[in-house]
């Protein structure tokens, strides 16, 4: 869960939806890794255009993806 300042649009808070941990932020910049998921369910889902958003800290991301049958694809982000 991310919270932005309504006036400046600066990031004010980020909380891991899984464990509830508050992530470190300085001057609107996140000082640790975050996995931000933002998905809109289509007509063919049971959720009919609902938008779902959540954020995971790195520890929760590692724990959750470790249980995947097929691991996430990992490559180097050349633009990052």
Q: How many residues bind Zn ion (CB under 5 A)?
A: 6
23 binds Zn ion (CB under 5 A): no
- Residue from 14, 23, 35, 57 in contact with Zn ion (CB under 5 A): 57
- DSSP state for residue 28 in the 8-state scheme: T
How many angstroms separate the Cα of 11 from the Cα of each of 4, 6, 30, 38?
4, 10, 8, 16
30 binds Zn ion (CB under 5 A): no
Which one of 3-11, 28-36, 52-60, 69-77 is the stretch in contact with Zn ion (CB under 5 A)?
Answer: 52-60
Contact 38, 27 (CB under 8 A): no
Question: Comparing C-alpha atoms, which of 24, 26, 21, 23 is closest to residue 10?
Answer: 26
16 binds Zn ion (CB under 5 A): yes
Site of interaction with Zn ion (CB under 5 A):
16, 18-19, 21, 57, 60
């Amino acid at each position: 869960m991310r919270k932005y300042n309504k006036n400046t649009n600066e990031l004010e808070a980020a909380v891991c939806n899984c464990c509830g941990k508050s992530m470190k932020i300085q001057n609107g910049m996140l000082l640790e890794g975050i996995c931000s998921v933002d998905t809109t369910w289509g007509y063919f889902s049971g959720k009919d255009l609902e938008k779902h958003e959540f954020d995971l800290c790195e520890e929760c991301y590692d724990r959750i993806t470790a249980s995947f049958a097929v691991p996430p694809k990992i490559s180097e982000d050349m633009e990052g």
